[in-house]
Each structure stands twice: as C-alpha cells, then as structure tokens.
Amino acid sequence: MATYAITGATGNTGRPITLGLLEKGHAVRIVSRSPGKAKELVGRGAVLFEGDSRDAGLLARAFQGADAAYLMVPIDAQAPDYTARQVAHATAMAEAIRKTGLPRAVSLSSVGAHLTAGAGVVQGLQRMEAMLNAIDGLTVLHLRPTYFLENTLAQAGAVVHMGAMVGPVRADLPIPMIATRDIAAYALRRLLALDFAGRSVQYLLGAAGYTYPQVAQVFGRAIGKPDLAYRQVPYDQAKQAMMGMGWGKSAADRMNEFVKALNDGRVLSAHVRDERSTTPTTLEDFAPVFSSVYVAQGGRIG
C-alpha cells in the first residue's frame, strides 16, 4: 500500500480524495488547520498534521516518505494581498518537496494558469505550477479545472433578495462549468494509478458550457421560477457586492481581474475539450444543490 499526503483535506476536493484513498487501504496523512473538521477523516484512519500549509516544516513532516501528495492552495478571501498569500502557500510546498524528495504530486490549478499576467485569482496558481515544475526529480500533474458549478451557489442570495442572478460575467459567454466532485474523482483516479510522468497538465471542463442566462433558466425551473433572469453588472458594483459578502479588497480586485480576462476570452484560450477533459455532472444534475441552498437562505419554491 502507498502513503499519500493531502493538503486541503477537509475541502470539496480533498475530503473525497482522502476518503477514497482510505477505502482502498492506503496510508493517508492530512494537512488541516481545523481538527474539528478533520475529526471524521481521522476517525477513518487518516493521520492529522495540524497547521497552516504556509508552514514548510509542517508540510515536510507530512511529505517525508510519502509516495505522492495532493497539493492545493486554500482560498483566503480576506488576505491583504491575495496573490502574495497564494505564493506563500506554493513556496512552502516547493520548499517541503525539495527537503523531502517527494517523488510525485497532483496539483489543483485552474483554467487561466497559462497566463503569466492578468490572471487575477489564478495568478498564484500559475506561479505554483512554475515552482513545482522547477523542482528536479518531481513528477507532477497539474489539474486545470474550469469554473466551479459551486461558484453559482453565491447567486442564491441574489435571487432571494433581488429576484435575479447578477454578476460581471458577460451574458453571452458560454463557460464550461464543473462540479468539484468530478475534480475529486479524477484526481483520486490518477493518484491511485500514479500513471503520470514528467510535468503535465490536464484540463477538466465539466459536461458542457453554459451562459449565465442558461444557468438562470435551469435553476429557475428548479425553484419554480421559470422566468428567472441574469443581469450583468459593472465591475465596480460586483466588487462592492463581494466586499459586502466579506471579501477583502485584494480578493475582490483579483476576482474582477479574472472575470475581465474571462470576458475577453483569455482565460479559455488554451484548453481543448475531448473525452479526457469532459466530466459527467451537468448543470441540470447540479440544480437540486442550488435549490437547497436557495431554500436555506430563505427562498421559497414557486
């Protein structure tokens, strides 16, 4: 049996990866700042390395002797400098890998990570890829998933309070959208197989592309509002909305920068959809998740 180290182990991708590895009988070390959230995983046999993944020493202890690791940079929407915080996590990972000689890793990157500038919230992931690629002896697979279907859940509050979906994304722009469970399933499969070599990239593009008006149409049917609309708003208005939800200025600015690159066609300029990059969960499959969040936030069906 192999030994794996998982960062972000209590998150949307890390948790199912950890559970899948444990179910196959592998030894799993998890890195988490939240022992409470990690309790179930520890109960199933995972070994907890408690602390922040900016701590290179902590990561080195988790990586020492491991056969492979799953690497992800956590979101910190209140970081004073969003990209600098991402780079701090990536730097600690690279330092720990060099110190321990970890042989293989799967990293969670993103579409847009091919952009060396102007990538917004993805810029730190682009730098993470570059750091990992520069490590002699490391075999690494960078996963570049597209826009998360889970990102659409932030629209539930807008529908409750404003009666419409709103955002700065172009209304006529089809965006490939993916469920995080599909990212986890793909990552788990590759970690179990350890069948990647060199430095490689795999795009993960969901089942299809959707415009935000199409999202509104599908979700509207799910909540009994077939006329639900999407309204594109200016970037400054979107920034104020994000900050109203608790985002810091830096994260809001970097998100707007990312959306501008998305609207301009630069984020989605490098991928190719094929059988390997297409994943199963459709927007229609995801609609019940949106419906449940909408109801939890005070919305009424119908």
Residue 262 has pLDDT above 90, yes or no: yes
Tell me if 108 is assigned to some domain: yes
State yes or no: pLDDT of 302 exceeds 90. no
User: How far is Cα 67 from Cα 105, in angstroms, rounded to an integer?
Assistant: 9
Please give the pLDDT value at position 266. Answer: 97
Give the three-class secondary structure for 266: coil
pLDDT at 145: 98
Q: Is residue 85 part of a domain?
A: yes
pLDDT at 50 over 90: yes
CB 73 within 8 A of CB 124: yes
- Note the pLDDT of residue 103: 98
Phi, psi angles (nearest 5°) of residue 52: -90, 140
Tens of pLDDT, residues 58-102: 999 999 999 999 999 999 999 999 999 999 999 999 999 999 999
Q: Are strands 165-167 and 147-148 parallel, antiparallel or unpaired?
A: unpaired
Residue 223 placed within a domain = no
What total number of domains does the chain contain? Answer: 1
* pLDDT surpassing 90 at residue 248: yes
CA 29 – CA 42 distance, rounded (Å):
9
Tokens of 98: 């060099």
Name residue, tokens 């592309």.
209
Among positive and negative, which fits the CA dihedral 181, 187, 188, 193? positive
Question: pLDDT, tens digit, for every residue of 163-189?
Answer: 999 999 999 999 999 999 999 999 999
* pLDDT one-digit tens code per residue, 187-242: 999 999 999 999 999 999 999 999 999 999 999 999 999 999 999 999 999 999 99
Q: Is residue 66 part of a domain?
A: yes
Does residue 57 lie within any of the structural domains? yes
Q: What is the pTM of this model?
A: 0.97
- Model confidence at 42, pLDDT cuts 50, 70, 90, reads very high
Radius of gyration of the chain (CA): 19
| Domain, as residue range, for 142 | 3-146+179-204
Within-domain flag for 268? no
* 89-92-93 Cα angle (round to 5): 85
Q: What mean pLDDT, rounded, does the chain reach?
A: 97
- pLDDT above 90 as % of the chain: 99
Give the tens place of pLDDT for each residue, 284-295. Answer: 999 999 999 999
Compute the average pLDDT of residues 102-109.
Answer: 98
Residue pair 92/56 in contact by the 8 Å Cβ criterion: yes
Q: According to the model, what pLDDT value does residue 252 have?
A: 97
**What CATH number did the domain enclosing 13 receive?**
3.40.50.720
Instruction: Using the predicted structure, report yes or no on whether residue 138 has a pLDDT greater than 90.
Output: yes
Q: How far is the CA of 191 from the CAs of 110, 120, 176, 188, in angstroms?
A: 18, 29, 24, 5
Would 170 be classed as within a structural domain? no
Residue 75 lies in a domain: yes
List, in sequence order, the alpha helices (H) in the chain.
Answer: 14-23, 35-43, 56-63, 82-100, 123-133, 155-162, 180-193, 212-222, 235-244, 249-263, 283-296
